[in-house]
Amino acid sequence: MVEKYIKKLDYLIVLCPEINPEDDGKFFDFKKGLYLGGKARMMASYKAYTINNNLKLILVADYNGVNGGVYKESQRTNDMKNYLLKLGVPSNSMQIVNSLPCTRHNIVAIFNSFKNLFKNKNVGLLTNLYHMPRALLFWSELKEIKEYKNIPNTPVVIVSENLIETDLKNKKDIRYIRRLELEMQGIIDLSVKQYKDGCINIKNKKLIIRNEYSKIIKQKGKLLLTPDEFKKI
């Protein structure tokens, strides 16, 4: 069923799976007693490309860090790209977007980068089942910003676990249940407006930024923040 929607897509946003330097470019479905779904997300990205090799995969993750004041492309996006290159996805079918580290600001950076390119296009959003509700809530919230009027009201939802066989054999697995509990708490916090943004905070109408991201926001704040957040710097 989902294949027919993928065939119509122009762009597919792939939200970054969790990966750390010690993972050596490998993506895991389980780690430290928790379901991550990283392998599932990457394999689903590849499967989507095989269904429609005309679509552009947008790989998004946070900047790699600062070295002498210069930020580089995220190791995570480079690992995502290299993973897909090895499977046969050509480089020109992928585009990297660097962002602040949280899911909300992943989407902010994409909206800022593609706010005109997405006009009248079919845009999909790919992530794991547990992650999709929160990602869609952020999408809906950000769509209320007038500068993002050309962004589709909702993306075409592509759930990794619906597209491929995964290492998750049983949704009663305690590692999956723990992940669902964490996500559910995030959604509850959003609904009662107590969600703590992992990147920024607004205090006395001023933007409070995580120290490690203060330099890059000075350099590329218009790309990384919403227009209203940028005004509060």
Question: Which pLDDT does position 198 carry in this prediction?
Answer: 79
Residues 6+ apart with CB under 8 A from 28: 36, 38, 39
Question: Which pLDDT does position 196 carry in this prediction?
Answer: 84
Which tokens is 143 given?
A: 């769509």
Query: Quick check: is 89 in a domain?
Result: yes
Confidence (pTM): 0.93
Residues 6+ apart with CB under 8 A from 167: 29, 30, 39, 40
Please give the Cα distance from 81 to 25 (Å, whole number).
Answer: 10
What's the CATH number where 41 sits?
3.40.50.620
- How buried is residue 160: exposed, middle or buried, by Cβ count under 10 Å (0-12/13-18/19+)? buried
Query: Quick check: is 135 in a domain?
Result: yes
Query: Quick check: is 221 in a domain?
Result: no
Domain, as residue range, for 69? 2-200
Looking at residue 90, its amino acid is P
Residue labelled with tokens 């027919």: 4
pLDDT tens sequence for the chain (233 residues)? 799 999 999 999 999 998 887 888 899 999 999 999 999 999 999 999 999 999 999 999 987 655 544 555 667 898 999 999 999 999 999 999 999 889 999 999 999 999 999 999 999 999 999 999 999 999 999 999 999 999 999 999 999 999 999 999 999 999 999 999 999 999 999 999 888 887 888 777 777 777 778 888 888 999 999 999 999 88
Query: Quick check: is 215 in a domain?
Result: no
Query: Quick check: is 147 in a domain?
Result: yes
Please give the Cα distance from 3 to 184 (Å, whole number).
Answer: 28
- How buried is residue 88: exposed, middle or buried, by Cβ count under 10 Å (0-12/13-18/19+)? exposed
Query: Quick check: is 218 in a domain?
Result: no
* Number of domains observed in the structure of the chain: 1
Residues 6+ apart with CB under 8 A from 76: 16, 17, 19, 61, 62, 64
Question: Which pLDDT does position 194 carry in this prediction?
Answer: 86
CA 172-178-184 angle, to 5 degrees, is 105
Residue labelled with tokens 């950000």: 142
Compute the radius of gyration of the chain from its Cα atoms. Answer: 17
Which tokens is 40 given?
A: 């599932």
Please give the Cα distance from 137 to 114 (Å, whole number).
Answer: 19
Query: Quick check: is 179 in a domain?
Result: yes
Query: Quick check: is 208 in a domain?
Result: no
Question: Which pLDDT does position 65 carry in this prediction?
Answer: 56
Helix (H), strand (E) at residue 96: strand 94-99
Question: Which pLDDT does position 206 carry in this prediction?
Answer: 77
Question: Which pLDDT does position 233 carry in this prediction?
Answer: 82
